[in-house]
Amino acid sequence: MRRITSRWLAGGAVAAAAALALTACGSGFGGSGSGSSDTGKLTSSNKALTVMIGSSGDAETAAVKSAVGDWSKSSGAKASVVAASDLNQQLAQGFAAKKPADVFYLSTDALAGYASNGSLLAYGDQLGNKSDFYPSLVKSFTYNGKFYCAPKDFSTLQLIINKDMWSAAGLTDSDIPKTWDQLEAVSKKLTGNGHVGLGISGEYARIGSFMVQAGGNLMNDDSTKATANSDANVKALDFVKTMLNAGDLKYAKTLGAGWGGEAFGKGLAAMTIEGNWITGAMKSDYPNIKYQVAELPAGPAGQGTLQFTNCWGIAADSPNQAAALKLVEKLTSKSDQLAFSQAFGPMPSIKSAASEWKSANPDLVPFLNAADYAKGVPTAKGAADVVTDLNSKLETLATSDPKTILDATQKNLEALK
C-alpha cells in the first residue's frame, strides 16, 4: 500500500476513507439516523468468533492471525481471521445480511454511521485497559457521549527530511525548523537542483496539520461543532498559499507523484509531511534515500499535527460479545501491540507501551511524541464527504481565497445531522 492520499487511519492498517455503503455514512452533506447500541448484558455462546481485518500485506495478516490464535489457545474460544479484499464492502454486506463479523477494523469516519443505526456495541467503558489509551484516541471513537471501541493503533504527521539534500544546502541539525518562518526559510534554501523544498499531498489530511498549529481544525474535539472557517484556519491556509505562490511548497500531484512519500522518495522534494507509514514505503521502494524525522514546526498556537487511527469494532449482533471483548483486550495489550509494531509498523495506542516503543524505534520518536498534542480528524456522520469536497477546493488554493473555501466547508459541516 504505497499511495495513502486520503488515509484517515493508523500506519499498517486498511485505507478506509470512503463512506460505507448501506449502513454507514449517507451521501451528500446531510443525513439522519437513529439507533441504539446500549451494551446491557453481553451475549455469550459457543460460536466461533470471526475477526475481519483490512490488511496492508502478509506481515499484518500473519501477525493478527498469530495473536488471535494465541488468544484462542489460552481461552479455549474458537476464532478465525478474515483478511478482507474490500473491508468497507464486506462489512456493509455482513451488517445488511445481519451476519456481521464479530470483531473488525473500524475507521473514524465509519464510526458515526454504524453507531447511529445500532450496528455497533458500545463496549469502551467495559475495557479493563480503558485508562491506558491516549485520551485523544478515545475521543476519536466516542459518539453521542459513548466510548464505542478500543483504538487499535495510530499514526501522526511529522516532517520528513532528505539528509543529503539538507547537507547540500548547507543546513545542519540546528536549522531544523521550529516555527513557520523557519519552515519557509529552509524550504526556500532547499528549492532548486530539480527539487522543491517541501512537497506534500494537497489535501486536508496533510494541510490540516497547519490548522492545528494555528489553533484550529475543521470541527471541535468531539466533532459536535463545525469550526472550519475560524480565524485560525484562515491563517493556516493563508500561510500554505503563501508558500505555494513562492514556489517553495508544491503539491505531490504538481510534481508528478501520487502522494508526498512518492515525491520525497523520487527526490522531487527535499522535505514532506507524512505519517509513520512512510517508513515502509521508504524501505521497500526507496532504500537508498537517507532521511530523518523531525517534529513539525510550531504555529501561532504552538505545536500541532493530525492523528489517524482505527479501532476494534464489535458487532451489536454478535452472539458472543463477552468473548469478543476479551479478545480485544488481548489485542490491545502491551505485548500484542508491541508485537504488531515490530511486525508491520503501527504505533501502540496505549501509554504503557510508549517507553518500549521509543527504545525500539529511536529514529521515529517524533511521531509518538505528538500523541500529547495531535488532533483527530472529524468523525461526524457524513464528514468524510465534506472533506472530499474540501480537498477538491484545496487543489486550487494557490489561486483561491482561503476564507471562501472554508466558508463553504463550514456550511457543509453545519448541514450534517
The domain total for the chain is: 2
Instruction: Give me the pLDDT at residue 1, please.
Output: 32
- Is the residue at 336 inside a domain? yes
Looking at the fold, whether 114 and 251 belong to one and the same domain comes out as: no
Instruction: Give me the pLDDT at residue 51, please.
Output: 98
376, 108 contact by CB (below 8 A): yes
Cell of 261: 512519500
Looking at the fold, whether 165 and 300 belong to one and the same domain comes out as: yes
Tell me: pLDDT of 301 over 60: yes
- Is the residue at 32 inside a domain? no
Looking at the fold, whether 212 and 283 belong to one and the same domain comes out as: yes
Looking at the fold, whether 54 and 194 belong to one and the same domain comes out as: no
Looking at the fold, whether 329 and 319 belong to one and the same domain comes out as: yes
Instruction: Give me the pLDDT at residue 56, please.
Output: 86
- Is the residue at 273 inside a domain? yes
- Is the residue at 1 inside a domain? no
What distance in Å separates the CA atoms of residue 79 and residue 102, rounded to the nearest whole number?
10
Half-sphere exposure of 396 (CA within 13 A, CB side): 9
Looking at the fold, whether 396 and 298 belong to one and the same domain comes out as: yes
- Residues 236-247 have a mean pLDDT of 98
pLDDT digits (tens, 9 = 90+) for 190-234: 999 999 999 999 999 999 999 999 999 999 998 999 999 999 999
Looking at the fold, whether 218 and 185 belong to one and the same domain comes out as: yes
Total-model pTM: 0.89
- Is the residue at 75 inside a domain? yes
- Is the residue at 19 inside a domain? no
**Other beta carbons within 10 Å of 280:** 19
Domain range for 149: 49-155+308-373
Looking at the fold, whether 189 and 248 belong to one and the same domain comes out as: yes
101, 51 contact by CB (below 8 A): yes
- Is the residue at 283 inside a domain? yes
Instruction: Give me the pLDDT at residue 30, please.
Output: 43
Q: Enumerate the H helices of 351-382 as residue ranges.
A: 354-360, 365-369
What DSSP assignment string belongs to 93-130?
A: HHHHTT---SEEEEEHHHHHHHHHTT-B---GGG-TTG
Tell me: pLDDT of 3 over 50: no
Instruction: Give me the pLDDT at residue 417, please.
Output: 72
What distance in Å separates the CA atoms of residue 298 and residue 296, rounded to the nearest whole number?
7
- Is the residue at 98 inside a domain? yes
Looking at the fold, whether 169 and 283 belong to one and the same domain comes out as: yes
Looking at the fold, whether 289 and 403 belong to one and the same domain comes out as: yes
Instruction: Give me the pLDDT at residue 216, please.
Output: 98
CATH number at residue 64: 3.40.190.10
pLDDT digits (tens, 9 = 90+) for 118-135: 999 999 999 999 999 999
Tell me: pLDDT of 364 over 90: yes
Q: In which band, very low, low, confident or very high, does the pLDDT at 8 lie, cut at 50, 70 and 90?
A: very low
Tell me: pLDDT of 296 over 70: yes
Looking at the fold, whether 97 and 57 belong to one and the same domain comes out as: yes
Looking at the fold, whether 129 and 103 belong to one and the same domain comes out as: yes
Q: Which of 373, 390, 405 delimits the end of a domain? A: 373
